[in-house]
Amino acid sequence: MKKMFSLLVLCLVATGVVGVLTLSAATLAPSMEVRVLSVIGALLAGYLMMQPIVNRLASRLA
């Protein structure tokens, strides 16, 4: 149960990091087209940054 709770907290932190990246990219973009592209880029970058960390820690917890 403790391992599952730790994994849930880790996923919530990862979601928060991706959300902050997306929010900052959306507010800094000057036009709607650039805003859409920057949000897509921020989501992909956040996923690529956090996925190895989540996988490594999930395998340790399992």
Tell me what pLDDT residue 37 has. Answer: 87
Tell me how far CA of residue 3 lies from CA of 13, 23, 24, 45, in angstroms.
15, 30, 32, 27
Q: Over the stretch 1-51, which tens digit does the pLDDT of each residue have?
A: 777 788 788 888 888 888 888 888 888 888 888 888 888 888 888 888 888
Can you give the pTM of this predicted structure?
Answer: 0.62
Question: For the chain, which residues make up each domain, given as ranges?
Answer: 32-62
Tell me what pLDDT residue 38 has. Answer: 84
Tell me what pLDDT residue 44 has. Answer: 86
Mean pLDDT on 56-61: 81
Tell me what pLDDT residue 11 has. Answer: 80
Cβ 20 vs Cβ 43: under 8 Å: no
